Amino acid sequence: MKCPFCNHEDTQVLDSRVLEDGDAIRRRRRCLSCDRRFTTYERAELMMPTVVKRDGSRMAFDPARIRASMDLALRKLTVPSQEVDAAIDRIRESILLTGAREINTEEIGDRVLEELLQLDQVAYIRFASVYKSFNDIDEFVQAIHEMQRDIQANHERAPAAKEPTKKVMTPQQKKQGKPS
């Protein structure tokens, strides 16, 4: 760290403190040449990665787009807005934590799917059907089976907290009129 007064290269750190909100460190420094004191602030650079689309084009990460696609999947369903906001925050955070410079839309879509699975299974299917652009009914059925397996796995991992808001019935159960 250069001294801002005399441009000397060597400074001594006298004191380091994490600021109250925890997102910056303040350091008191002393110039080893002119002995003047100054303060520096150190902040983590939190940058969302660039989004790479399927056609290879790039765009800035935009949570509003995620919100719009989730709202579309959740239309006419009863999921509270704040739960959707919290889900989007988790998606942003998990993407930030990868530290990657670029992220492709499939990866973002997978994270959206994970959150929708917790919020509402109908929304999950709606989103998956568009996002995975099913070619035929078999792929669709396959996706539903995968979803049911994921739900099963989630139940085993966190039985109470991760309880989905809606139950999906298998065709068998539908005939018998019993939820799973």
Which residues bind to Zn ion, rule: CB under 5 A?
A: 3, 5-6, 8, 31, 33-34
Task: Give whichever of 6 and 100 is closer to Zn ion, judged by the CB atom.
Answer: 6
C-alpha to C-alpha distance for 117 and 164, rounded to whole angstroms = 7
Would you say the C-alpha torsion 24, 83, 65, 59 has a positive or negative sign? positive
Task: Give whichever of 34 and 130 is closer to Zn ion, judged by the CB atom.
Answer: 34
Residue 105, Cβ density class (10 Å: 0-12 exposed, 13-18 middle, ≥19 buried)? middle
Beta bridge partners of 12: 30
Task: Give whichever of 28 and 65 is closer to Zn ion, judged by the CB atom.
Answer: 28
Contact 147, 121 (CB under 8 A): yes
Task: Give whichever of 33 and 105 is closer to Zn ion, judged by the CB atom.
Answer: 33
Q: How far is the CB of 27 from Zn ion (least distance, A)?
A: 15
Q: Indicate the DSSP class of residue 49.
A: P
- CA angle, 152 as apex, 130 and 113 as ends, to 5°? 25
